[in-house]
Amino acid sequence: MSMFGRKFRGRRSAGRTILSLAWLVFAGTAFAQISVVDDTGKTVTLPSPARRIVTLAPHAAELVYAAGAGAAIVGVIKGSDYPAAVKALPVIGDANALDLERIAMLRPDLIVTWPWTTPAQVGGLRERGVAVFEADARTIGGIADDVERIGALAGTHAQASTAATALRGRIARLTLRAVGSPLRVFYQLSDVPLFTLGGHHLVSQAITACGGQNVFGALSIPAPQVSVEAVLAANPQVIVAGTDAARRPAWLDNWSRWPALDAARDRALFVVDANLLHRPGPRFVDGVVQLCDALAMARRATGRAAAPAPIIGPTTMPPSDAPSSATAGGKSR
């Protein structure tokens, strides 16, 4: 073979090597991409695990911590209070307005939010190339799915999988062997105006799991306003108020003014912690326990066949996090 032939062959071999290396680099980059589908059906893709996360809902921070990625959170929204570590993080706005300049300074590679936090501003962040995962579980089991998918995006799949499995186990044990017909339940958010929750809300699913029936379950609006007359017509057997830290509001006992109302006659007026039950995060199950306890007490108080209380352990969180703040807040007093 001529010298020219040997040189050509060497160059061709070197070219193949370069192309092979280039392909390996490309393939490695391509296969390193992470893609999941969020609760709104959008595909969220990252070139590598998220290292800087901003959460735009209190439950979003709880989900990220449950997924084992709490150390990656660099900014939170006002109202984020669990676990305790989030209280020391920069606050970048509230549900009505975000500080976009501060968010830009934090350089997030992932935002975890839900559809109700300034959708226009979040859409603008997405257009600028920031990955956005919207966590708005449509079922109680979907909360565990969110933990797992956030873990995939943050590169903490092992921790997230363990937490999600434990959460699914607790959710599976929510099914109660309620005896007799479901109790008619009115879930009250506020007094004036009078707001409740519709049938598509997770709390309505929780009421069903506890052996109850949401008297406004036919309404598709997540949080509809209703009238006192509509509540009296529905004649609930149990009224449950969801309040911050399960503090009993004065307006709950105002129902005693209507003694013909089943719930008032039987004093079946209870309170649960809204911080647990109104957030579609890992502690939602703790809120369901409170709700089930309230309905079980209502059955006992009225002499109806009792539904056994759920046997569910505490919420699983990373060891560094604060313990669950779930409290039994359902007793009338």
Is residue 132 domain-resident? yes
Domain end call among 118, 152, 172: 172
User: Within this chain, do residues 149 and 187 fall inside the same structural domain, yes or no?
Assistant: no
E strands present in the chain: 34-37, 43-46, 53-55, 73-75, 110-113, 131-134, 183-190, 195-196, 212-214, 238-243, 269-273
Q: Does residue 208 fall inside a structural domain?
A: yes
Distance CA 149, CA 160 (A): 8
Q: 154 with 84, same domain?
A: yes
pLDDT at position 300 is 86
Residue 174 pLDDT: 77
Helices and strands (H, E) in the chain, number of each type: 11, 11
| Structural tokens at position 207 | 């009421």
**Adjacent-strand bridge partners of 309:** none
Q: What is the pLDDT of residues 102-151, one digit of tens each?
A: 999 999 999 999 999 999 999 999 999 999 999 999 999 999 999 999 99
Here the CATH number for the domain that contains residue 143 is 3.40.50.1980
Q: What is the pLDDT of residue 136?
A: 95
According to the model, what pLDDT value does residue 53 have?
A: 98
Q: Are 116 and 212 in the same domain?
A: no
**146 lies in a domain?**
yes
- Residue 190 sits in the same domain as residue 164: no
Shared domain for 196 and 243, answered yes or no, is: yes
Global pTM? 0.82
Domain of 156, in residue numbers: 34-172
Query: From CA 171, how far away is CA 311, in angstroms rounded?
Result: 11
The answer as to whether 11 is a domain residue is: no
* Count of structural domains, the chain: 2
Q: Judge contact between 83 and 317, C-beta under 8 A.
A: yes
31 vs 23, 28, 46, 158, 253, CA distance in Å?
Answer: 12, 5, 11, 19, 59
Does residue 17 fall inside a structural domain? no
Residues 110 and 196 in one domain: no
Q: Is 112 helix (H, G, I), strand (E, B) or coil?
A: strand
In a domain, 91, yes or no: yes
* Cα–Cα distances in angstroms (integers) from residue 45 to residues 37, 102, 227, 230, in the given order: 9, 23, 45, 46
State the number of CA atoms in the 13 A half-sphere of 33 facing the CB. 12
State residue 180's pLDDT score: 61
Q: How is residue 277 written in tokens?
A: 């039950």
Strand 238-243 to 43-46 pairing: unpaired
pLDDT, residue 29, reads 43
Please write the tens of the pLDDT for every residue from 59-106.
Answer: 999 999 999 999 999 999 999 999 999 999 999 999 999 999 999 999
Same domain, 168 and 38: yes
Distance CA 36, CA 34 (A): 7
**Token digits of residue 42:** 């959008």
Q: Does residue 38 share a domain with residue 161?
A: yes
Do 55 and 162 fall within a single domain? yes
With b for 16 or more beta-carbon neighbours within 10 A and e for fewer, the 305-320 pattern comes to eebeebebeebbbbee
Same domain, 187 and 140: no
Give Cβ neighbours of residue 131 (< 8 Å, ≥ 6 apart).
44, 45, 46, 50, 109, 110, 111, 153
Block mean pLDDT (10 aa), the chain, length 333: 45 44 40 89 97 98 98 97 96 96 97 95 95 96 97 98 96 67 95 96 94 95 96 98 96 96 96 96 95 92 58 44 31 32
